[in-house]
Amino acid sequence: MRIFDGHNDVLTSCEPQEFAGGRDGGHMDLPRCEAAGLGGGIFAVFVASPGDEHLTLGTGGSYEVELPPAIEHADALASATVSAGKLFVLEAMGAVRVARSTADLDTTDRIVAVLHLEGAEAIAPDLANLETWYEAGLRSLGPVWSRPNHFGHGVPFAFPSGADTGPGLTSAGRELVRRCNDLGIVVDVSHLNEQGFWDVATLSKAPLVASHSGAHALCACSRNLNDEQIDAIGGTGGLVGVVFANPFVREDGADDDDTPLSTIVAHVRHIADRIGIDHVALGSDFDGAGIPRAMGDVTGLPLLLDALVDAGFSHEDVAKVAWWNWRRVLGASWSE
Ligand SMILES: [Zn+2]
């Protein structure tokens, strides 16, 4: 079965040669992606705040992680162009096809890679370089990561906590949503606080996408979506890519990899029960978070699909979760 995964941080965690040739450790590289049957994924460009490379989430009980500081646009741009460049090196090596159009998503000779900015600090506050990023291949962005920037306010990591943690999008953030709609760039609501989410929901003409989030009803982490948000996403024909990160899926919010795959299945079930199987997909956070040992790395993806079948989902439904829902929503969001 073809698999599309909605979020990985492999561009932050290794060099192109390591990805293409295989490496020890990490969650993914080309040989393991091929072994897993991964057909495509969203490859995030992430810029860490200075001194904040190691984000420590709770190992049990309640926790609250202080918001990382904002990053200057010039610094973020310098870093992001290097990370994005790794994806173009991989494209030149023939390891991936950077998906710039819906037709690209339907090619099967290589992994199709969607370029994503996780936090839009690399976009100029006046959006003057947004078109440049689009022409390079950018087809998805989150206005914020979990920190404030010129466009809005990310949700701090906390458990137990809702996502209603501050003001919504700035005027620049609202303009960013409009321009992304016009160009055909997905606006990803994962990492936005709740007011920012509702601002995107009000403004955006595209299906709402949460690329790597869980259901707050099952794990009361600030990064997760409450039922009202999930319902809103379903109402636009969008999707939730269910995250695999231990602290965002476990009921106790702990960063503990002794987490059965049934925990992830429960999030798929909850979202499908509320808004339908057409609106739930995968959003691992490979190479960006601790994931269940039962998954291990990207090669564990087929085990999750088996677990969905074992839980009673039909093969047709699992194929939607695995590939077709992302395919539909990206196709509906892009302009070419
Ligand atoms: Zn993330």
Q: Give residue 191 CA to ligand 1 midpoint distance, Å.
A: 7
pLDDT tens by residue, the chain, 336 residues: 999 999 999 999 999 999 999 999 999 999 999 999 999 999 999 999 876 655 677 777 898 888 788 999 999 999 999 999 999 999 999 999 999 999 999 999 999 999 999 999 999 999 999 999 999 999 999 999 999 999 999 999 999 999 999 999 999 999 999 999 999 999 999 999 999 999 999 999 999 999 999 999 999 999 999 999 999 999 999 999 999 999 999 999 999 999 999 999 999 999 999 999 999 999 999 999 999 999 999 999 999 999 999 999 999 999 999 999 999 999 999 999
**212 CA → ligand 1 middle, Å:** 7
Q: Could you tell me the distance, in angstroms and rounded to a whole number, from the CA of residue 335 to the centre of ligand 1?
A: 25
Q: How far is the CA of 144 from the centre of ligand 1 (A)?
A: 10
Cα 52 to ligand 1 centre (Å): 14
Tell me if the pTM is above 0.75.
Answer: yes
The rounded Å distance from CA 9 to ligand 1 centre is: 8
Residue 152 sits in a domain whose CATH number is 3.20.20.140
- Domain count of the chain? 1
CA of 199 to the centre of ligand 1 (A): 20
Cα-to-centroid distance, 285 and ligand 1 (Å): 7
| 68 CA distance to ligand 1 middle (Å) | 14
Q: Ligand 1 mean position to 39 CA, how many Å?
A: 21
Residue-number span of the structural domain to which 314 is assigned: 3-333
Report the C-alpha gap between 101 and 107 in whole angstroms.
Answer: 11
pLDDT of residue 53: 54
CA of 223 to the centre of ligand 1 (A): 9
